[in-house]
Amino acid sequence: MKNELTVRKQELSTTTVDDILPQNFEKLPVKKQNSLILNIAKDQLLEAIKVDVSIKETIERAKVLQMKINSSQQMRDLKQLKRDIKQHKTMHENLVMQFQGMLKLAGKLGFNLESELKKFRVIEE
C-alpha cells in the first residue's frame, strides 16, 4: 500500500501542462484558451473535492470500525488483561522491595535467613 501511494504521488508530480492541454492550444483563440483552461481547472477542482470527500468517508468508516473493535468483548478482555499485568508487575516490584527490606532488617538484627531461604527455594522448584 505504501508503494502504491508513492507511485501515485510520482504520477501526479510528473503531470505537466502539455499533458493536460491539447497540442494545438497555442493556435486556439484566446477566448477558447480561457474557456479550456477554466473547464480543466473546474474538472480538477471537482476531482479534488471527490477525493477529499472520499478521504473523509474513509476516515469516518475507520473511526466506526475502531469503535466497534474497542467495544468488542475481545478488546475489553485484552484491556483487562493489560490492566492485570500492570497491576501484577507493580505488586511484584513492591513485594521484591519488601523482601529486600526484610533481608536488610534481618542482617542488622543478626539473623541469617540464607539457610531457611535455600530450603524454601528447593521446595519452590
pLDDT digits (tens, 9 = 90+) for 63-121: 999 999 999 999 999 999 999 999 999 999 999 999 999 989 988 988 888 877 877 76
Q: What is the pLDDT of residue 124?
A: 53
Query: In Å, how far are 3, 27, 77, 78, 86 from 8, measured between CA atoms?
Result: 9, 32, 40, 38, 44
Q: What is the pLDDT of residue 115?
A: 76
Global pTM value? 0.51
- Mean pLDDT (the chain, rounded): 82
Domain definitions of the chain by residue range: 1-71, 73-125
Mean pLDDT of the 47-57 span? 95
